[in-house]
Structure 1
Amino acid sequence: MNVDHEVSLLVDAIKRLGTPNANGKVSVKFGVLFNDDEVANTFESLMGTLKAAKRRKLIHFEGELLLQRVHDNVDVVLL
């Protein structure tokens, strides 16, 4: 899979799992995203895909790296 395709799949997953936040943007907790079976089966490197989407300014999350359990409550926001 190429990066653009993986990023588009990630956007779809965020839309599927997320809910609108106070600003009207779709947001999902990293833990929800990480623990979803479809996401786990789709992405070889979820963090790599998240970083690629962030570089393209399609999503936002605090920090540079998200780790399971430590960052489960961090919001991944679709821009």
Structure 2
Amino acid sequence: MNVEHEVELLVEEIKRLGKEGSDGKCEVTFGALFNDDKCANLFEALVGTLRAAKRKKIIKYDGELLLQGVHDSTVISLL
């Protein structure tokens, strides 16, 4: 698994599904990403890819681990 490639795909999907936030950055909710059919087929481990992108300071979200249902309304922002 190529983490760099997965992170690039994640950025594209956030841009596709997201909207411009009040700070001018593209934002999407975790629920929108998790429940999208294309993302479900693209990412074997969406949460792992999100964590890798957060460590690289490509995206920002509150918390460490995102869980379906519990964190569906958590906003993920591109930096």
TM-score scaled by length of structure 2? 0.98
Alignment gaps of 5+ in structure 1 = none
Matches within 5 A, 1:1-79: 1-79=1-79
The total of aligned residue pairs comes to: 79
Partner secondary structure for residue 44 of structure 1: coil
1:13 alignment partner AA: E
When the two chains are superposed, the root-mean-square deviation of aligned CA atoms in Å is 0.5
Output the amino acid matched with 2:71: H
3-state SS, counterpart of residue 76 of structure 1: strand
- 1:48-72: CA deviations, max 9, x gaps? 0000000000000000000000000
**How much identity, in percent, do the aligned residues show?**
62
- Secondary structure of the residue aligned to 1:9 is helix
